[in-house]
Amino acid sequence: MSRILHRSLRNEPLLAVSGRGLMVQGATGAPVIDASGGAAVACLGHGDERVVEAITRQARQIAYAHTVFFTCQAAEELADLLVGHAPGGLTHAYFVSSGSEAMEAALKLARQYFLEIGQPQRHRFIARRQSYHGNTLGALGLGGNFARREPYTPILADCFSHVSPCFAYRFQDAGESDADYVARLAAELEDEFQRLGPDKVAAFVAEPIVGATSGCVTALPGYFPAMRAVCDRHGALLILDEVMCGMGRSGTLHAWEQEGVAPDIQTIAKGLGGGYQPIGAILAQGRIVEALAAGSGAFKHGHTYQAHPVACAAALAVQRIIREDNLLANVQAMGARLETALQERFGNHANVGDIRGRGLFWALEFVEDRASRKTFAPARKINEAVKDAAMAAGVMIYPMGGTIDGRQGDHVIIAPPYIARPEDIDEIVARLGRAVDAVLG
């Protein structure tokens, strides 16, 4: 019996033995195509020798150097690559070990910024329902995944509140124009600022493309500028969580590049290191860092493994490869192919209510009835069943469900590595088709 406290204490997971490119081999069974990068992590696929070499070189040179004493070349070069050209005004990077840690750091940086500029009353954070920002207590309290949040409510901070997401398939009213829907959401955010006291709000936090909780939900055009305008009106920050949708997944390096806004603080993680090492980061606007520099002179935060040399070396190699191999162009081309293939295969399926996403980040939402968009009974665990059938059919897709505002969302995410070729995309959709047929007919 395994001594690991696994996610499921009923079904032990398969032992992973090896990975090459898109293929992952377990201890038993045939190799499977990793069509979700795990959870949108493995952006270069598995076993890229260039990354392995960079990791090995760094580990030989120096594997660990505490940031109280040292910086390291890999972290400096990675920061230069990410923010040296100040994209959207982002000028500084802070490296941590996961997406949740990045979210915690973002919240604390926002809070400290307002302390430094003499606005200590700002301590409220507004996020959205049907969002996910991580599993540590700050990130969990912030997030709007109520199924994950609920058991821990008594131990979560009460500085968080939630407004509606921009989720057209589920929440746009029949007959409501896109412009009216966006205006309604902006008014709701404004109302929330007023309810809390506009000068109490530190930041509004959102995923540009909602990942795990609701499945690759893109915002309507004009939504993010409208949200930004509310934040600007009241002097609050905009924090964008690109842990899942960022670093090329959407077809541009940052998903916000397609939204007409830039964040004050951004979080990134999964595609940063591509799973070769655990690494996440926040990217911050110059004026925020300057306020800290002019004030207390330090970011009052820290982790033992921040800016870990081996993790930074891995991420540096991954990010260089994305640029050198022109992989963003491949994400766009293969993303278009994936969209077409999903539409052809599932566009008329009685139980596929919505096919949505961008770049190489797509989801199918399953419904019992297409016309009414009625969801399946939660007990049927359709998303889990499709995941299991997909594994049996030789393809890994990422399942998600959970009761959200009384609605059960069953979806699976398809997020192949950026190196996918046309024949990979076709094979992924063919195998997924067999899995969906096996579960839903």
Q: Give the whole-angstrom CA distance, residue 376 versus residue 272.
A: 35
Q: How far apart are CA 270 and CA 403, in angstroms?
A: 25
Q: Is the distance from CB of 362 to CB of 342 less than 8 angstroms?
A: yes
Q: Is 244 in the site for ligand PMP (CB under 6 A)?
A: yes
Least Cβ distance, residue 364 to ligand PMP (angstroms): 18
Verify binding: residue 104, ligand PMP, rule CB under 6 A: no
- In whole angstroms, the minimum distance from the beta carbon of 243 to ligand PMP comes to 3
How far, in Å, CA of 242 to CA of 254, rounded? 7
> Does 274 help bind ligand PMP (rule: CB under 6 A)?
no
For the chain, the first-to-last Cα distance in angstroms comes to: 36
The answer to whether residue 268 forms part of the interface with ligand PMP (CB under 6 A) is no
For position 275 contacting ligand PMP by CB under 6 A, the verdict is no
Beta-sheet strands, E only, within 243-359: 265-268, 280-285, 352-358
Binding mask 286-325 for ligand PMP (x = CB under 6 A): ----------------------------------------
133 binds ligand PMP (CB under 6 A): yes
413 binds ligand PMP (CB under 6 A): no
Shortest Cβ 1–ligand PMP spacing (Å): 26
**φ and ψ at residue 125, rounded to 5 degrees:** -125, 130
Q: Does 239 bind ligand PMP (CB under 6 A)?
A: no
Piece of the chain touching ligand PMP by CB under 6 A; list 30-38, 156-164, 240-248, 387-395: 240-248
Nearer to ligand PMP, 100 or 218 (CB): 100
For residue 407 the two structure tokens come to 């609605």
Annotate each residue in 149-178 with x if it binds ligand PMP (CB under 6 A) or - if it does not, as one string.
------------------------------
For 21-41, give the DSSP string: BTEEEESSS--EEESSHHHHT
Site for ligand PMP in 362-391 (CB under 6 A): none
Q: Say whether residue 103 binds ligand PMP (CB under 6 A).
A: yes
Residue 39 or 392 with smaller CB distance to ligand PMP? 39
269 vs 412 by CB, closer to ligand PMP: 269
Number of C-beta neighbours around residue 102 at 10 A: 30
Closer residue to ligand PMP in complex, CB, 54/96: 96
189: left (phi over 0), alpha (psi -120 to 50) or beta: alpha
Distance CA 82, CA 272 (A): 10
Question: Which residues contact residue 31 at a Cβ distance below 8 angstroms, ignoring those fewer than 6 apart?
Answer: 23, 24, 25, 394
Given 243, 331, 341, 355, the residue binding ligand PMP (CB under 6 A) = 243
Binds ligand PMP (CB under 6 A): choice among 99, 215, 357, 394: 99
**Measured distance CA(126)–CA(1) in Å, rounded:** 44
Which tokens in the block code for residue 416? 């192949």
Helices (H), 88-210: 99-116, 137-142, 146-149, 168-171, 178-196
Among 34, 48, 207, 339, binds ligand PMP (CB under 6 A): 207
234 binds ligand PMP (CB under 6 A): no
What is the footprint of ligand PMP within residues 30-89 (CB under 6 A)? 39
What residue is closest to ligand PMP based on CB? 99
The yes or no reply on residue 419 touching ligand PMP (CB under 6 A) is: no
Pairing relation of β-strands 32-34 and 403-404? unpaired
Q: Which residues of the shown chain bind ligand PMP in the complex (CB under 6 A)? A: 39, 98-100, 103, 132-134, 207, 211-212, 241, 243-244, 269
